[in-house]
Amino acid sequence: MSQATIDKPARGPLNGVDVPTLFATLDAVDANRELAQFRFRATNKWVAGTHSQNTLTTYYGAGSEHEHENTIVVDADHPPVLVGADKGAVPVEFLLMGLASCLTAGIGNIAAARGITLHSVESHVEGDLDLQGILGLDNSMRRGFSKIRVDFDVKADADEETIRKLVEQSRNRSAVFCSIANPTPIEITVNEK
Nearest partner of 157 among 120, 190, 105, 106, judged by Cα: 120
Phi, psi of 55 (to 5 degrees): -125, 130
pLDDT band at 193 (very low <50, low <70, confident <90, very high): confident
User: Each residue of 112-127: pLDDT tens digit?
Assistant: 999 999 999 999 999 9
User: Each residue of 85-115: pLDDT tens digit?
Assistant: 999 999 999 999 999 999 999 999 999 999 9
d(CA 14, CA 96): 27
Would you state the pLDDT for residue 1? 35
Question: Mean per-residue pLDDT for 135-161?
Answer: 96
Would you state the pLDDT for residue 115? 93
Q: What residue type is 85 in one-letter code? A: A
Provide, rounded to the nearest whole percent, the portion of the chain with pLDDT above 90. 89
User: Each residue of 37-46: pLDDT tens digit?
Assistant: 999 999 999 9
